[in-house]
Amino acid sequence: MIRVSIDSAPIEVAIELAALEERGAGGLATFTGVVRGDDGVTALELEHYPGMTEQALIALAETACARWSLLAVTMVHRVGVMVPGDRIVFVGTAAQHRREALDACGFLIDRLKTDAPFWKREQLGDAARWVDARARDVDAATRWEAGQ
Amino acid sequence: MIRVSIDSAPIEVAIELAALEERGAGGLATFTGVVRGDDGVTALELEHYPGMTEQALIALAETACARWSLLAVTMVHRVGVMVPGDRIVFVGTAAQHRREALDACGFLIDRLKTDAPFWKREQLGDAARWVDARARDVDAATRWEAGQ
Amino acid sequence: MDLLYFAWVRERIGMGQEQVEPPAEVRSVADLIGWLATRSPGHAEAMRAPERLRAAIDQKFVPLDAPLGAAREVALFPPVTGG
Amino acid sequence: MDLLYFAWVRERIGMGQEQVEPPAEVRSVADLIGWLATRSPGHAEAMRAPERLRAAIDQKFVPLDAPLGAAREVALFPPVTGG
d(CA C16, CA C22): 18
What is the per-residue pLDDT for B147? 54
All domains in chain C, ordered by first residue: 2-77 (3.10.20.30)
Pairing state between β A87-95 and A72-78: antiparallel
d(CA B82, CA B58): 24
Per-residue pLDDT tens for B49-103?
A: 999 999 999 999 999 999 999 999 999 999 999 999 999 999 999 999 999 999 9
What is the per-residue pLDDT for A140? 87
**Neighbour tally for D24: CB within 10 Å:** 5
A vs C: CB pairs below 8 A? 69
The pLDDT-based confidence of A24 (bands split at 50, 70, 90) is confident
Per-residue pLDDT tens for A43-61?
A: 999 999 999 999 999 999 9
- If DSSP codes are grouped into helix, strand and coil, which group holds residue A45? strand
All domains in chain A, ordered by first residue: 2-142 (3.90.1170.40)
Contact C82 A55 (CB under 8 A): no
B41-55, B126-140, C69-83, D19-33: range with lowest mean pLDDT: B126-140
| Whole-number average pLDDT of chain A | 94
| Whole-number average pLDDT of chain B | 94
Is the distance from CB of B90 to CB of B76 less than 8 angstroms?
yes
Three-state SS letters, A8-53: CCCCCHHHHHHHHHCCCCCEEEEEEEECCCHHHCCEEEEEECCCHH
| DSSP single-letter state for residue C38 | T
Q: What is the mean predicted confidence (pLDDT) over C46-67?
A: 97
d(CA B132, CA A93): 27
Kindly report the nearest CA distance between residue B25 and chain D, in angstroms.
Answer: 25
Per-residue pLDDT tens for D4-30?
A: 999 999 999 999 999 999 999 999 999
The pLDDT-based confidence of B113 (bands split at 50, 70, 90) is very high
Contact D83 B47 (CB under 8 A): no
For chain A, what percent of residues have pLDDT higher than 90?
A: 82
Query: Does the beta carbon of A13 lie under 8 angstroms from any beta carbon of chain B?
Result: yes
Closest Cα to residue D2, out of D41, D62, D57, D48?
Answer: D57
Contact A113 C56 (CB under 8 A): no
Is 90 exceeded by the pLDDT of residue B135? no
Contact C79 A133 (CB under 8 A): yes
Pairing state between β B43-48 and B27-34: unpaired
d(CA D80, CA B122): 14
- If DSSP codes are grouped into helix, strand and coil, which group holds residue D27? coil
Contact C56 A117 (CB under 8 A): yes
Q: Cα angle vertex A26, ends A64, A143, to 5°? A: 30
What is the per-residue pLDDT for A147? 54
- Taking 3-state DSSP, the helix, strand and coil percentages for chain B, each rounded to the nearest 5, stand at 40, 35, 25
Per-residue pLDDT tens for C7-27?
A: 999 999 999 999 999 999 999
- Give contacts of B 108-147 with A, CB under 8 A: 109-110, 140
